[in-house]
Amino acid sequence: MTDTTDVDVSRIAPRDKAEILAQALPYIRKFHGKTLVIKYGGNAMTDPALQADFAEDVVLLKLVGMNPVVVHGGGPQIEAALGRLGKKGEFIQGMRVTDAETMEVVEWVLAGEVQQDIVGLINQAGGKAVGLTGRDGGLIRARKLKMVDHKDPSKEYDVGQVGEIEAIDPGVVKALQDDAFIPVVSPIGFGTDNESYNINADVVASKLAMVLKAEKLVMLTNIPGVLDKQGQLITELTARQIDELIEDGTISGGMLPKLAGAIDAAKSGVNAVHIVDGRVPHSMLLEILTDQAYGTMIRSH
């Protein structure tokens, strides 16, 4: 690693190294054979050093007996590709308007460029990754998202080929997991007439975690986690406490859609949802395998 902020492992005393490894052991034992769904986005996805860290973490989790499934976003990459075509992204209530031409770009960027980069990085780190979209094995069946105006429920917007999930068939993911592969899923669904839909990656990760009965859903973001009114990190929350924080305005804006999926997953049987700062090297590994909190954990009860 070239990043100077990383700890020089050679300078850690052997006793401290042993302590770190011993601390990981109960977690490795506890989560052995369990499924972890990881939403990969933010800086962790665009910074080359953090990309390599992420790939190593995913491979390590697989090697110690867990079953990671990666769901990725790609907003900045889509924006850059549209820019190269001279096309300006249009948003309504935070949702990208996706006409037929934009959908082609979305598919090409997500299922082509971004997905293949992630697959390549994981394979380079010693894993066996396989890229999937919602079409593969009928994984994500979707329908057109009906977007209602926040202020006037009688008003609807047409945001094009943006979808909501109708059903998830996890058969292909399970088959790959059982065969030592690491599935990497692009958030593209298909409709009854074989049309493609662009789906929010947080939503896909949350729903997939529910359907797979995952032990954990880990969401890598560009923030430290959920912060209180003083800007301090809240390391642990229940779904009920989140409802209270939304009501009193502590949680608002871009955090709301992230947490909506997290709360749904927690209420639907995913034991823990972690919102983790993807800007910290190896934060995902540290959050899962140590006592130290590197984000916010939302418990199901």
Confidence of residue 1 (pLDDT cuts 50, 70, 90): very low
CA angle 124, 279, 218 (to 5 degrees): 75
Tokens representing 182 are 């690491």
- The region of weakest confidence among 5-19, 84-98, 134-148, 170-184 is 5-19
DSSP 112: I
Distance CA 60, CA 24 (A): 12
Tokens representing 184 are 């990497």
Hey, what domains does the chain have and what are their CATH numbers? 10-299 (3.40.1160.10)
Q: Is the pLDDT of residue 4 over 70?
A: no
Mean pLDDT to the nearest integer, 167-177: 94
- Reported pTM: 0.91
- The answer on whether 253 is annotated among ligand-binding residues is no
Residue type, 113: E
- The answer on whether 135 is annotated among ligand-binding residues is no
Mean pLDDT to the nearest integer, 228-235: 87
Q: Mean of the per-residue pLDDT values for the chain?
A: 88
Burial of 227 (0-12, 13-18, 19+ CB in 10 A): middle
Looking up tokens 């983790």, which residue turns up? 276
Burial of 123 (0-12, 13-18, 19+ CB in 10 A): middle
Q: Is the pLDDT of residue 5 over 70?
A: no
Please report the sign of the dihedral spanned by the C-alpha atoms of residue 128, residue 131, residue 134, residue 138.
negative
Tens-digit pLDDT profile for residues 96-152: 889 999 999 999 999 999 999 999 999 999 999 999 999 999 999 999 998 888 788
Alpha-helical (H) ranges within the chain are 14-31, 43-46, 48-63, 75-84, 100-107, 115-124, 171-178, 201-211, 239-247, 255-267, 283-289
C-alpha closest to that of 228 among 248, 257, 258? 248
Distance CA 161, CA 101 (A): 10
Tens-digit pLDDT profile for residues 66-89: 999 999 998 889 989 999 999 887
Strand-pair partners of 162: 198
- The answer on whether 222 is annotated among ligand-binding residues is no
Mean pLDDT to the nearest integer, 257-266: 82
